[in-house]
Amino acid sequence: MALRGKMADLGDIMQLAFVPADFDAAVRHWTGTMGVGPFYMIEGIHLDGMTYRGAPTEAVFDLALAYWGDLQIELIRPRDDHPSIYRGEYGSTGNGLHHVCILVDDLAAARAVCEEAGAEVVIEGRFGTSEVIYVDPGTGPGTLVEILQQAKDGPDLFGMIKAAGQDWDGSEPLRKLG
């Protein structure tokens, strides 16, 4: 697909992400009330080469992933006060939406589209061989946009998590990965 310089041209939103004020209560809400799960927890994440507004940061966070049909739900818990999109001006949204995520095949091309659209890269880094940027499109209602170029050489983590949610019986709502 030829990119026309609009962020919507990058692809469909595949994830809604939250930085809840009370992480455990959010897990209970999503699994108990909403029936979404099970969530898979990855603890102690620090992106390789992580920068916040162009400066290196040592921020560490935990995240939990589950699927509601084809839509991924992500819950994030910051573990420290290092500069990041999970603290300060972009920090906890209480129970509101923090960011959406789009998967792309070419992060460099996606970055160019974001720059053309006037979106500022506020955080970037690598998780294994996956690369990610978070951009702030600014001016108006909305939220941050995560743009992820997934590694092609690793296990299909998202596929495994999605499959676990099909016919989930409500048992073990929060499971640890790695």
Total residues found in the chain within this entry: 178
Which string of DSSP letters, residue by residue, matches 10-45? G--EEEEEE-BSSHHHHHHIIIIIS----EEEEEEE
Q: Model confidence at 142, in pLDDT bands (50, 70, 90)? A: low
What does pTM read for this prediction?
Answer: 0.92
Predicted pLDDT of residue 1:
45
18-77 tens-digit pLDDT: 999 999 999 999 999 999 999 999 999 999 999 999 999 999 999 999 999 999 999 999
Q: Classify 9-167 by CATH class.
A: alpha beta
> What average pLDDT does the segment 152-163 reach?
85
Asked whether residue 2 carries a pLDDT value surpassing 60, the answer given is no
Instruction: 163-166: list long-range contacts, CB under 8 Å, 24+ apart.
Output: 164/38, 164/40, 165/36, 165/37, 165/38, 165/66, 165/67, 165/68
Q: Which residue has the higher pLDDT, 128 or 83?
A: 83
* 3-class secondary structure, 135: strand
Give percent above pLDDT 90 in the chain: 75
> What average pLDDT does the segment 169-176 reach?
96
Sketch the domain layout of the chain as residue ranges: 9-167
Q: Which residues contact 172 (CB under 8 A, 6 or more apart)?
A: 38
Q: Which residues contact 33 (CB under 8 A, 6 or more apart)?
A: none
